[in-house]
Amino acid sequence: GLTTSAALARRPAVTGTELRSALPLPPPFQVPLPVPATLAPAGASGGTDHYEITQRETTAEILPGVRTPLWTYEGTFPGPTIESRRGRPVTVTHHNTLPVPTVVHLHGGRTAPESDGYPTDLVLPAHWPQTTHAAHDAGAHTMHDPRAAVTRLSRDYTFPLDQRPTLLWYHDHRMDFTAPAIWRGLAGLHIIRDDAEDDLGLPSGARELPLMITDRAFSADGTLTYPSLDPTLRLRPGVRDPYLAGVLGDVILVNGAPWPVHETDTARHRLRVLNASNARHYELEAVTDTGRRLPLVQIGADQGLLAAPVTHHALPVAPAERYDVVVDFTGLPVGSRVKLLNRLGTGRTRDVMAFHITRATTDDSRVPPVLSTDLPSWRPSDAAVTREFSFRAGRTHGGHGWLIGGLPFDPARSDVTVRLGDVEIWRLIADVHHPVHLHLVGFRVLSRNGRPPLPHDAGLKDTVSLRPGEAVEIITRFDGYRGRYLFHCHNAEHEDMAMMANLEIV
């Protein structure tokens, strides 16, 4: 059933409604950590790599012995990882064989507007009714409607990838339906690399691990529980949506596996952390079995390497944020175990994953004191304008929802027009916790409530966590492309409940 997280009252950092799984859950740290396979290009021409991805339904064994239906990219959750070199463009043809329209967005990609996955730029399935209203919540069902006139089974997306190397992710972005689509499995990784980063000597190969962290809940039949997909969770008219605050699960998955364990050696490891959860915030710490906390040495943010490493004892990670961190297992005795824990969790959601150190090795990796020298350093005096946006609950067409600047998302309205090349300061003000994401640009955090940014705000970001009651100032330069982009809350349920706005670059 549905229980409001008790954590909500005690810890304002946790926003959401926690669903309880109706199945026995496996003990932690038993399932081996999977690493998503790298997708091989289908071909290359004129310096561009070409990929094909089929979006399809499948079932997978996520909980041991249980089959779970999923919506996937290429049959796996997470989808396959695309590995690219900086400046080498990629085209991806997405084929939609799912029962619903989809939209693909490369989160953090510097992409022309026509390939950025605007929420109404649909890749339609074969049969889809004209009236999308009739399809409300059709998330769960195959629709066959003879009136369907438009068929668009596939779409090409072009990504120049002329940007700082980093971990990006691709995910569904359909208007009003992003949260259930990601929940059902539509998310994958895209890594950009370059020679300068390769030459730093950071941990690599088997010691570089992408960690896509998500939470999910499971129904008795093995399907993923989600409020709009489960009639027993649906509330009467006039009552707040059960998923207004955001949907939380009681099972923590890393790369699609519940509380996994990774067997490895006594070396430094580079963990490329992505919080791909719909609404859950984490505060990660690495703790040995003797209770010692290992430092998490942050080397990169959403948009690539920091100027210099920043050491954390605990690292807050909001939905859609990426943190590139190095943990040092050298000197740990063989046989020891290091747990990655979530300090914001309670009970089972405190555990994330574990490393089991089973082999001694020598390690010649390093974390150099200077990581990058190309971070933009816009000064407040460069800004052409300072704008202010509130992120608050409010009334939308459908009832209660979430508003930016007092308005619910409307694809027909232009909310902000900025001039190509301008530097701007945006002041973002929150009622409750909102992880705010800007498409196209990276930005730097200038201040929080008038005070200097926090240690984990370092570097170039594309998503910033506004904490309850906070005003956060960011600075960026709107360059790259003209056209229509978005900014929105990346609590996926807030996003679906209208917390999104249009950004026009002219």
**Which of ligand C2O, Cu ion, none lies near 439, with the C-beta cut-off 5 to 8 A by kind?**
ligand C2O
Residue 222 Cα to chain centre, angstroms: 24
Q: Quick one: what does residue 437 bind among ligand C2O, Cu ion, none, with the CB cut-off 5 to 8 Å set by partner type?
A: ligand C2O
Is 106 one of the binding residues for Cu ion (CB under 5 A)?
Answer: no
Q: Which two tokens stand for residue 214?
A: 């998500």
Contacts for 365 with CB less than 8 Å, ≥ 6 apart: 201, 202, 203, 204, 207, 267, 268
Name which of 169 and 226 has its Cβ closer to ligand C2O. 169
Q: CA 372 to CA 121: how far, in whole Å?
A: 36
Q: Which does 223 bind (CB under 5 to 8 A by kind): ligand C2O, Cu ion, none?
A: none
Q: Does the protein bind ligand C2O through residue 494 (CB under 6 A)?
A: no
Site for ligand C2O in 304-333 (CB under 6 A): 320
Q: Is 161 in the site for ligand C2O (CB under 6 A)?
A: no
CB of 418 to ligand C2O, least distance (A): 17
Q: Which of 489, 497, 500, 505 binds Cu ion (CB under 5 A)?
A: 489
With binding defined as CB under 6 A, does residue 190 bind ligand C2O? no
State which residue, 86 or 434, has the beta carbon closest to Cu ion: 434
| Percent composition of the chain: helix, strand, coil (DSSP 3-state, to 5) | 10, 45, 50
Using CB under 5 A as the binding rule, the residues of this chain from 418 to 437 that contact Cu ion are 434
Residue 173 binding partner per list Cu ion, ligand C2O, none, with a CB distance cut-off of 5 to 8 Å that depends on partner kind:
ligand C2O
Q: How far is it, in rounded angstroms, from Cα 233 to Cα 381?
A: 51
Query: Stretches 299-307, 310-318, 365-373, 484-492: which one binds ligand C2O (CB under 6 A)?
Result: 484-492
Residue from 174, 168, 137, 141 nearest 155 by CA: 174
Q: Indicate the residue among 434 and 467 with the shorter CB distance to Cu ion.
A: 434
Cα distance between residue 180 and residue 25, in whole Å: 22
CB of 503 to ligand C2O, least distance (A): 11
Q: Which of 86, 110, 173, 339 binds ligand C2O (CB under 6 A)?
A: 173
* Interacting span for ligand C2O (CB under 6 A) from 246-254, 344-352, 401-409, 483-491: 483-491
Give one DSSP letter per residue of 410-440, joined into a string.
-TTS--EEE-TT-EEEEEEEESS-EEEEESS
Burial 29-53 (b: 16+ CB within 10 A, else e): bebebbbbeebebeeeeeeebebbb
Q: Is 17 in the site for Cu ion (CB under 5 A)?
A: no
Q: Which of residues 345-384 bind ligand C2O (CB under 6 A)?
A: none
Q: How far is the CB of 439 from ligand C2O (least distance, A)?
A: 6
Q: Residues 344-348: contacts with CB within 8 Å, 24+ apart?
A: 344/7, 344/11, 344/13, 344/14, 344/281, 344/282, 344/283, 345/7, 345/252, 345/282, 346/5, 346/6, 346/7, 347/250, 348/25, 348/28, 348/250, 348/251, 348/252, 348/259
Span interacting with ligand C2O, options 138-146, 345-353, 418-426, 486-494, rule CB under 6 A: 486-494
Closest CA to 272 of 246, 252, 253, 299: 299
Q: Which does 76 bind (CB under 5 to 8 A by kind): ligand C2O, Cu ion, none?
A: none
Residue pair 408/445 in contact (Cβ under 8 Å)? The answer is: no
Q: For tokens 């499995």, name the residue.
A: 185
Sign of the alpha-carbon dihedral angle for 58, 60, 62, 66: positive
Minimum Å gap between C-beta 493 and Cu ion is 8
Verify binding: residue 494, Cu ion, rule CB under 5 A: yes
Q: Say which entry of ligand C2O, Cu ion, none residue 270 contacts (CB below 5 to 8 A, set by partner kind).
A: none
Q: Which is nearer to ligand C2O, 105 or 216 (CB)?
A: 105
Judged by CB, which is closer to Cu ion: 372, or 491?
491
For Cu ion, the closer of residues 351 and 457 by Cβ is 457
269 binds ligand C2O (CB under 6 A): no
Q: Does 107 bind ligand C2O (CB under 6 A)?
A: yes
Q: Kindly state the smallest distance separating residue 276's Cβ from Cu ion, in Å.
A: 16
Asked if 437 interacts with ligand C2O (CB under 6 A), we say: yes
- Shortest Å distance, C-beta 486 to ligand C2O: 5
Q: Which of 110, 312, 488, 494 binds ligand C2O (CB under 6 A)?
A: 488
Neighbours of 209 (CB within 10 A): 19
CB 82 within 8 A of CB 452: no
Residue 279's binding partner among Cu ion, ligand C2O, none (Cβ under 5 to 8 angstroms by kind) is none
Considering the rule CB under 6 A, would residue 486 count as an interface residue with ligand C2O?
yes
Going by C-alpha positions, the residue among 492, 499, 498 that lies closest to residue 182 is: 492
Selection from ligand C2O, Cu ion, none that 320 binds (CB < 5 to 8 A by kind) is: ligand C2O
Q: Write phi, then psi, for 364 (nearest 5 degrees).
A: -110, 15
Tell me the C-alpha distance between 468 and 15, whole Å.
Answer: 10
Are the CB atoms for 414 and 407 separated by under 8 Å? no
Closest CB to ligand C2O among residues 265, 321:
321
Rounded Cα gap, residues 342 and 322, in angstroms: 16
Output DSSP code: residue 105: E
Q: What residues make contact with Cu ion under the rule CB under 5 A?
A: 434, 489, 491, 494
Q: What residues make contact with ligand C2O under the rule CB under 6 A?
A: 105, 107, 171, 173, 320, 437, 439, 486, 488, 490
